Structure 1
Amino acid sequence: MEIADPTPAERRVWDAFPLGEGVDLRERPDSPQDGDDDPARGADWGPERTLRAEFLRELLLAGPVREGRTAGLKVTGARITGRLDLRYGTVGHPVRLRSCHFEQAPDLYGARVGALVLSDSVLPGLTAGALRADGVLRITCCRFTGPVRLQGAKLAGALFANGATLGTPGVAPAEPVLQLNHAEVGTDVWAPGLVAHGRVQLNGAVVGGQVNLNDAVLDAPGDTALHAEVLAVGTDLHAMRLRVRGRVNLGGARIPRQLNLAHARLANPGGVALRASSGVIGELWLREAAPVEGDVNLRRAQLDLLHVPPEVWPDRVHLDGLAYRVLTPHLPAEQRLPLLEREPDGYLPHPYEQLATAYRTVGDDAAARTVQLAKLRRRRRTLPPYARLWGHLQDAAVGYGFRPMRAAGWLLLLLCTGTLVFALHRPPALKPSEAPGFNPLFYTLDLLLPVIDFGQEPAFAPRGAYQWLSYLLIALGWVLATTIAAGITRSLNRQ
């Protein structure tokens, strides 16, 4: 291949390529990226640091090789003019262009490369849809002013985007700033510290390892900041200390271990801040997170563990169909029940049943009964007036059967009332010559307790209003005694 009018930098790269050696064009290679070596100032770099895109294309596709050496492009601190067009090309060498300034967005659509490293560079974008990479793709600490298109890409290794900046603050992009929809990543998507001013899209992506968004900032106010419907992750999605303005959409995601949002701050006022409906997630953590600003939608999600303190939940939470096995931290039912009042669709029985099941799973039957009682009280509000009245009576008497010992109090009250009334108004004996001595206490016990017979009730017959009182005591005694027996039986069965 002949080089037409090569720049000094191109001559150096030409000589180093077949040897796989690196070329550092920075003025101060040993110092941090600052001053004139900052790629953001790369437009001012002269011919001694300039590489033409067409030169790089020819070098990568048909460059010289040397027997016994591994060729490769390893350049640091270059200004790359023109568009690096490698569409559908096959590059059999690693490509490393670190701390470079690109005048135009490289186009690698459908290309195949060994490894692609663009770390610390400044680019107006990257088009690499359907890219095939046999190694890793690194855009670590890159600054992109335009979109990074990786939809449908297949990476055998990992995608490193830690510390990268995508988009421009205060400018609403016309398309997602990072497009990984339907991409396949063999190991991890490693992006702690990522800053995205626009939508990050991972719809239908398949990641063999984990997705790491710790300390990331996703800024898309009024829009979707993270769009990851039907995302499939091999292990975890870590997003500790994540800061989001906009919606996080994880509908239908498959995350077998942790979705860790500890210390995160999610804000989308007036809209949905977090959606994980129909997802299958091992553990969802919002430990020590800031109170969520916006709705949370967990409808039909399946979780093994849900760790969300009560103060983190927003005013509106969609819970219908949510299934979880363990709820942590373990708190009294009274601290969990207000969450179920925040369902926008009003009373739904399933969230109460699920919460009661979670308490029973950890052996807290008392809390489970509290939840069941709260469910019936909430349902009562939806009933017609006559049914609400009957519900209030059931609640006051025995707590809908979940407070059976309350019946013992009513029995004691009725016993005292009956004893006093019949002591003042002794009922006449049916057969005075055969009747035992009248005892108002045991007479009332005979009326109230259906399985006990002290011989008082069949020997005496009250009349008038006192007869109706005896009928009432018999009926109430049956109901209350049966309730107490059922409560004792449930307690014995639990033990």
Structure 2
Amino acid sequence: MEINELTPAEARVWRAFPRGERVDFRAADDEDPAEGGSWGPERTVRAAVLRALLLGGDRADGEIASLGLAGARITGSLELQYATIEHPVRLRHCHFEEVPRCYAARLRELNLSESVLPGLVAHAIRVDGVLRMTRTRFHGLVRLAGAEIAGSLYLEGARIDAPDAGEPVLQLNQAVLGADLWAPGLRVRGQTRLTGASVAGRIGLADAELDAPGGVALDAQYLSVGSGVGARCLRARGRLDFRGARVPGTLDLLHAHLSEPGDTALRASSSVIGELWLRGGERLTGALNLRRARIDHLTLAPEMVPDQVCLSDLGYTALSPHEPAAHRLAMLERDGDGYVPYAYEQLAASYRRIGDDGAARTVQLAKQRRHRRTLPWYGRLWGHLQDAAVGYGFRPLRAGGWLLSLLAAGSLAYGLHPPAPLKPSEAPQFNPVFYTLDLLLPIVSFGQESAFAPKDHQQWLAYLLIVLGWILASTVIAGVTRTVNRQ
């Protein structure tokens, strides 16, 4: 393209390029590029001119050529498919009339910050430095699937609005980032897809808003992060899906608001997470799915737990904040998978790990009671007897209470009406306490039971005490055996 074919605005950009100078057409720093459609020819640059510069522009001796442009209206489509661009590209505060196309292009650096675009096509793009789209506004799809960015991707304060696109509006699936995905304050209307992406550093989504009601707001299945995900104060309408994700650091959802009524608000099944923080925010609207997840430290406030959870085969080392067992058991009762023994074992283990053995026993007792509901009637009957007698072995003092009560009742009854001796001349002196103990204790004998013969109602009382003694002994043995085996 010859220089005499350029408009005055384009000629200015053309002359600045070899020296790496920045051209700023803005009349004021607070101009809104959304109004760029009305900008005149004095600040209009054709995309074809920019393409010609990037692919074959001159270089000044001793200078680093680069394209630096601000406040321009860019007409036509910037076609850079498969191109190799050796110069930094900085198009800030610009208004694009058509979607730039950078499919499989290779660039040193790309900066579209504070600009307004109808979308971006950059599948498989390779950026040797960073890709900046800080506070950029998109009114269409942002396609970065399979992108390779050696540095960071900056999307802080960006706006992407394409709720009726019928596909994810921010596509970063299979992308590879050599540093961070930095997007605090990001606003997306439509689905954000990070499926299979790899981020060597950290993902920052603090104060972000992801809006895809009735669908998936963030699809981060099989995401791999080198550090953690900071999503504090995140607001999401639609599911957050971290199924199969690998987050060795923290998945921070403190003060988050997650909502997907009638479906799953947060799914992190089969994931491996260092720390998951769910605390300080509003109660999840929708289910919480942590099936088969492995979490070193789970921070889960009871007030954030929704009506339905899925905890089958969830494993965690520590659970905080420390709460009474009753508050945690309410969560297990809401498990959509029904009775999950492993969930109770995990909760009990977390209490034992911090030395709260009383809470651990409460959880184990609740597990037996929940299991009892799954048994046939005769199993439930025997379970009720074990529960009433010794709390399935976790309430051993209860056996002593039953024993003392029966001992007091029998001693009183036989003390008021002693039974007749079988052989008066050989019988020992009658003792109502030891006689009752002889009836209650199946193995121990004090010589009282064999020496006296109760009659009528006394005989029936003796039968009752013998039966209750055997039941008490059996439940004690069963409970103690269960406890010893578990330990």
Normalised-by-shorter TM-score class: over 0.9
After the TM superposition, which residues 387-466 of structure 1 pair with which residues of structure 2 at under 5 Å, given as runs? 387-449=379-441, 454-462=446-454, 466=458
Q: Measure the CA separation in 2 of the matches of 1:362 and 1:186.
A: 39
- Of 217-226 and 59-68, the range deviating more from structure 2: 59-68
Paired amino acid for 2:338: G
Asked whether the equivalents of residues 386 and 475 of structure 2 are also in contact (C-alpha less than 8 Å), the reply is no
Residue 471 of structure 1 deviates from its aligned partner by: 5.2
Q: Measure the CA separation in 2 of the matches of 1:5 and 1:268.
A: 56
Asked whether the equivalents of residues 435 and 449 of structure 2 are also in contact (C-alpha less than 8 Å), the reply is yes
Q: Measure the CA separation in 1 of the matches of 2:166 and 2:7.
A: 37
Asked whether the equivalents of residues 284 and 307 of structure 1 are also in contact (C-alpha less than 8 Å), the reply is yes
After the TM superposition, which residues 107-118 of structure 1 pair with which residues of structure 2 at under 5 Å, given as runs? 107-118=101-112
Residue 386 of structure 1 deviates from its aligned partner by: 2.7
Aligned residue number for residue 246 of structure 1? 238
Asked whether the equivalents of residues 405 and 487 of structure 1 are also in contact (C-alpha less than 8 Å), the reply is no
Q: Choose the corresponding residue for 2:253, options 261, 283, 289.
A: 261
Q: Does 1:103 align with 2:113?
A: no
Aligned residue number for residue 291 of structure 2? 299
Aligned residue number for residue 39 of structure 1? 33
Aligned residue number for residue 212 of structure 2? 220
> Equivalent pairs: percent with the same residue?
60
Asked whether the equivalents of residues 299 and 320 of structure 2 are also in contact (C-alpha less than 8 Å), the reply is yes
Q: Measure the CA separation in 1 of the matches of 2:193 and 2:346.
A: 32
Aligned residue number for residue 3 of structure 1? 3
Residue 306 of structure 1 deviates from its aligned partner by: 1.4
After the TM superposition, which residues 153-164 of structure 1 pair with which residues of structure 2 at under 5 Å, given as runs? 153-164=147-158
Q: Measure the CA separation in 2 of the matches of 1:466 and 1:351.
A: 49
| 1:91-122: CA deviation from partner (whole Å, max 9, x where unpaired) | 01111110001111111100000010000000
Paired amino acid for 1:317: V
| 1:329-357: CA deviation from partner (whole Å, max 9, x where unpaired) | 10111111111111223222222222112
- Of 294-303 and 353-362, the range deviating more from structure 2: 353-362
Q: Choose the corresponding residue for 2:63, options 38, 61, 69.
A: 69
Aligned residue number for residue 15 of structure 2? 15
SS of equivalent residue, structure 1 residue 281: strand
Paired amino acid for 2:379: A
Asked whether the equivalents of residues 392 and 479 of structure 2 are also in contact (C-alpha less than 8 Å), the reply is no
Residue 144 of structure 1 deviates from its aligned partner by: 0.2
Aligned residue number for residue 314 of structure 2? 322
Residue 150 of structure 1 deviates from its aligned partner by: 0.3
Unaligned runs of 5+ in 2: none
SS of equivalent residue, structure 1 residue 417: helix
Report the TM-score, using the length of structure 2 for normalisation. 0.94
SS of equivalent residue, structure 2 residue 281: coil
| 1:422-478: CA deviation from partner (whole Å, max 9, x where unpaired) | 223423334433332111112222333467554434443445664564455345445
| 1:239-297: CA deviation from partner (whole Å, max 9, x where unpaired) | 11111111111111111111111111111111111111111111111111101111111
Aligned residue number for residue 354 of structure 2? 362
Aligned residue number for residue 58 of structure 1? 52
Aligned residue number for residue 142 of structure 2? 148
In structure 2, relative to structure 1, the CA distance for the partners of 1:450 and 1:380 (3 Å cut) is: closer
Q: Measure the CA separation in 2 of the matches of 1:209 and 1:463.
A: 85
Aligned residue number for residue 87 of structure 1? 81
Aligned residue number for residue 334 of structure 2? 342
- Of 442-451 and 478-487, the range deviating more from structure 2: 478-487
Paired amino acid for 1:153: A
Aligned residue number for residue 386 of structure 1? 378
- Of 53-62 and 144-153, the range deviating more from structure 2: 53-62
| 1:288-338: CA deviation from partner (whole Å, max 9, x where unpaired) | 110111111111111111112111111111111111111111011111111
Aligned residue number for residue 209 of structure 1? 201
Q: Measure the CA separation in 1 of the matches of 2:237 and 2:480.
A: 53
Asked whether the equivalents of residues 266 and 292 of structure 1 are also in contact (C-alpha less than 8 Å), the reply is yes
Asked whether the equivalents of residues 393 and 482 of structure 2 are also in contact (C-alpha less than 8 Å), the reply is no
In structure 2, relative to structure 1, the CA distance for the partners of 1:253 and 1:492 (3 Å cut) is: closer
SS of equivalent residue, structure 1 residue 174: coil
Aligned residue number for residue 371 of structure 1? 363
Q: Measure the CA separation in 2 of the matches of 1:280 and 1:193.
A: 26
Paired amino acid for 2:345: E
SS of equivalent residue, structure 1 residue 176: coil
Aligned residue number for residue 121 of structure 1? 115
Report the TM-score, using the length of structure 1 for normalisation. 0.93
Residue 128 of structure 1 deviates from its aligned partner by: 0.6
Q: Measure the CA separation in 2 of the matches of 1:22 and 1:468.
A: 106
- Of 459-468 and 265-274, the range deviating more from structure 2: 459-468
CA RMSD of aligned residues (A): 2.4
- Of 279-288 and 155-164, the range deviating more from structure 2: 279-288
- Of 8-17 and 116-125, the range deviating more from structure 2: 8-17
Asked whether the equivalents of residues 404 and 483 of structure 1 are also in contact (C-alpha less than 8 Å), the reply is no
Asked whether the equivalents of residues 248 and 274 of structure 2 are also in contact (C-alpha less than 8 Å), the reply is yes
Asked whether the equivalents of residues 101 and 123 of structure 1 are also in contact (C-alpha less than 8 Å), the reply is yes
Q: Measure the CA separation in 2 of the matches of 1:64 and 1:27.
A: 28
Paired amino acid for 2:78: L
Asked whether the equivalents of residues 121 and 144 of structure 2 are also in contact (C-alpha less than 8 Å), the reply is yes
Aligned residue number for residue 25 of structure 1? 25
- Of 481-490 and 407-416, the range deviating more from structure 2: 481-490
Asked whether the equivalents of residues 389 and 476 of structure 2 are also in contact (C-alpha less than 8 Å), the reply is no
Paired amino acid for 2:358: A
Paired amino acid for 1:48: E
Unaligned runs of 5+ in 1: none
Asked whether the equivalents of residues 167 and 173 of structure 1 are also in contact (C-alpha less than 8 Å), the reply is no
In structure 2, relative to structure 1, the CA distance for the partners of 1:76 and 1:451 (3 Å cut) is: same
Residue 492 of structure 1 deviates from its aligned partner by: 12
Q: Measure the CA separation in 2 of the matches of 1:199 and 1:287.
A: 25
- Of 179-188 and 43-52, the range deviating more from structure 2: 43-52
Q: Measure the CA separation in 2 of the matches of 1:183 and 1:436.
A: 92
Residue 485 of structure 1 deviates from its aligned partner by: 8.4
